[in-house]
Amino acid sequence: MKRSLLTFALLILLSIISINTFAQADTTKTTKRDKDLKKGFSFGGVPALAYDSDLGFLYGIIFNLYHYGDGSNYPNYNHSLYMEWSRTTKGSGKNILEYDNRTLIPNGRMKIELSYLTEQALDFYGFNGYHSYYNAQYLDKTSPDYISRLYYRHDRKLLRFKTDFQGKLVGKNLRWFAGFSYYNIKIGSVNIDKLNDGRDAEEMLPDTASLYDKYVEWGVLKSSQVNGGNTNLLKFGAVYDTRDNEASPNRGIWSEVMLITAPGFIGNKYSYTKISLTHRQYFTLYPKKVVFAYRLNYQGLIGGEIPFYMMPFYFRSKDVKDGLGGSKTLRGILRNRVVGDGAILGNMELRYKFLNTRVFNQNFSITLSAFMDAARIIQFHEVDTTGVTASYGKTREENIKELNYQDESFHVSYGGGLHFAINHNFIIAVDYGLAGNPLDGSRGLYIGLNYIF
């Protein structure tokens, strides 16, 4: 399985090299004629192919249209229109339209995104890390404790509209940013009938209560939140960036502070404010060969009440990801395993570029990495257990115990990866992580784009 996935990643890489080779040949002719300036429109389209242990195989298409204007800003573009349609074998779907403008704000940027993201079986493990009990035997069909492999899942449909702005604050390294986002989230139980359609009898999923269903029944989730809702977010902040390369830094820092708020006066039923503090730093230990990188983040609730369906998101000035756990935060740990009102995150990675050459007239390198990821909840979400009953073959005390299983501590994972880079900017990442505690899962394999930080 691992060998086939690595082969899959290399096939993607070779296809991209071919596309880039063709594109560069065409650009070379243009730049010689136009004195090293690329003008007007340019576009590219590639298959969207990836693998994630939490999501399965991803397939689809990505299309990007660029406009360089008179070429005075080249190699930066003036406008970009990004479109993605993709699906995964575990029931997720992405429909994304994104516009990026680099000319409206002097020395700044504006991005607008409209996306519709679907999850037939989104990970849900409860709240507050190890306070919420996880048992892999509930998912194992051969185990006497088997419930369903979708026990820790629920359905989510997310419609999101975002506008982000940024510009120069002081000097060339300090920037401000601000933005508005609208989230329309619909939550429900996994549609077992839909997933069972066309399956053989022995492959049928049992129509049984999931953890989400139990939380709804017991009142752990407020009745006004169980089906999702609308949220209007404002964000403000500043970022200090001295990295020598955005996609694959060798040295420099990236530090940012961000406030995310959902005030009542713009139509929010639940009003709250969060803060996110991030520091990333990169050290060259051996020129052009070895880099040590680390990332530290705190994200917490300053005030108000955040609905459960908005808790898993991990906010950054650049983009928004699902919560702690999985390919972009805690490799090898289950996606959304670490969810609470506030958490800290740390990542360390040692990167060794053991091959640096040219392939098809493109700069090509392979980097081997070793990493350790860790996080823990430091602000706990209030869990109401008054409605818990004796049910599902357990006493009331046993059911309550699964809501407050043990004290929280660090969730740790470790592993390694390979990164294939073309022209230092386009990077295919293959990461394999191991969870340090079986209460966080076992392992994860991820094939996608770019370093996680």
Contact, 159 vs 184, CB < 8 A? yes
Rg of the chain over Cα atoms, rounded to whole angstroms, equals 23
Structure confidence at residue 44 (pLDDT): 62
- Per DSSP, the residues of 285-317 read EETTTEEEEEEEEEEEEEEE---GGGTT-EE-S
Structure confidence at residue 12 (pLDDT): 52
Whether the per-residue pLDDT at 73 is higher than 80: the answer is no
**Could you tell me the pLDDT band of residue 219, with boundaries at 50, 70 and 90?**
very high
Neighbouring C-beta atoms of residue 228, cutoff 10 Å: 20
Structure confidence at residue 11 (pLDDT): 47
Residues 180-196 have pLDDT tens digits of 999 999 999 999 988 88
Structure confidence at residue 35 (pLDDT): 46
Which residues is 124 bridged to in the sheet? Answer: none
Domain of 423: which CATH number? 2.40.160.50
Contact, 8 vs 1, CB < 8 A? no
- Per DSSP, the residues of 23-79 read HHHHHHHHHHHTTT---SEEEEEEEEEEEETTTEEEEEEEEEEEE-TTSTTTTS-SE
Residues 15-66 have pLDDT tens digits of 444 444 444 444 444 444 454 466 778 766 667 777 877 678 889 988 888 8
Structure confidence at residue 22 (pLDDT): 40
Which distant-in-sequence residues (6+ apart) come within 8 Å of 253 by Cβ?
240, 241, 242, 243, 279, 280, 281, 282
Distances (CA, A) of 4 to 8, 46, 86, 149, 430: 6, 21, 21, 24, 12
Q: If you ran DSSP here, which 8-state letter would residue 102 be given? A: S
Residues 293-304 have pLDDT tens digits of 999 999 999 999
Residues 159-175 have pLDDT tens digits of 999 999 999 998 889 99
Which range among 64-68, 78-82, 257-261 has the greatest average pLDDT? 257-261
* 97 conformational bin, left if phi > 0, alpha if psi -120 to 50, beta if neither: beta
Which range among 37-51, 70-84, 222-236 has the greatest average pLDDT? 222-236
Structure confidence at residue 47 (pLDDT): 76
CA–CA separation, 66 and 79 (whole Å): 6
Contact, 127 vs 157, CB < 8 A? no
**Could you tell me the pLDDT band of residue 374, with boundaries at 50, 70 and 90?**
very high
Among 73, 145, 143, 86, which residue's Cα sits nearest to residue 119? 86
Structure confidence at residue 24 (pLDDT): 44
Residues 331-354 have pLDDT tens digits of 999 999 999 999 999 999 999 999
Residues 83-114 have pLDDT tens digits of 999 998 878 899 999 999 988 888 888 999 99
- The tokens describing 71, both together, are 């070429």
What is the pLDDT averaged over residues 123-134? 97
Structure confidence at residue 4 (pLDDT): 46
Q: Percent of the chain at pLDDT above 90? A: 68
| Domain coverage including residue 107 | 2-449
Number of domains in the chain: 1
Looking at per-residue pLDDT, the higher value among 109 and 202 belongs to 109
**Could you tell me the pLDDT band of residue 318, with boundaries at 50, 70 and 90?**
confident
Mean pLDDT of the chain: 88
What is the pLDDT averaged over residues 407-413? 97
